[in-house]
């Protein structure tokens, strides 16, 4: 089972094998969409981002342990 399925709701009812061919995948656009979805679903916009990296979100209520280093990816 996939962690995320993007498409119409009826795709979940499909039982036949499916092959999806994409000529070009824009990972930045997909990442922006999924980030927007996550922020809106979990209301992360009111938690404040303490990260100094533009593509990393660390909420103001999150802490990273002493002598620990955070590396995205």
Q: Which residue has the higher pLDDT, 36 or 63?
A: 36
Q: Which residue has the tokens 């000529």?
A: 23
Confidence (pLDDT) at 2: 57
What does 6-73 look like in DSSP terms, one character per residue?
-S-GGGGG--S------S---HHHHHHHHHHHHHHHTTGGGS-B--SSTT---BTT----TT------
pLDDT tens-place string over residues 13-62:
777 766 666 667 788 888 888 888 887 787 766 777 777 777 777 777 77
pTM of the full predicted structure?
0.35
d(CA 21, CA 35): 24
């Amino acid at each position: 089972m996939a962690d995320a399925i993007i498409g119409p709701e009826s795709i979940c009812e499909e039982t036949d094998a499916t092959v999806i061919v994409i000529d070009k995948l824009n990972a930045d656009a997909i990442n922006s969409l999924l980030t927007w979805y996550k922020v809106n679903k979990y209301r992360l916009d009111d938690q404040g981002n303490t990260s100094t990296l533009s593509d990393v979100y660390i909420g103001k209520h999150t802490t990273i342990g002493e002598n620990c280093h955070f590396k995205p990816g």
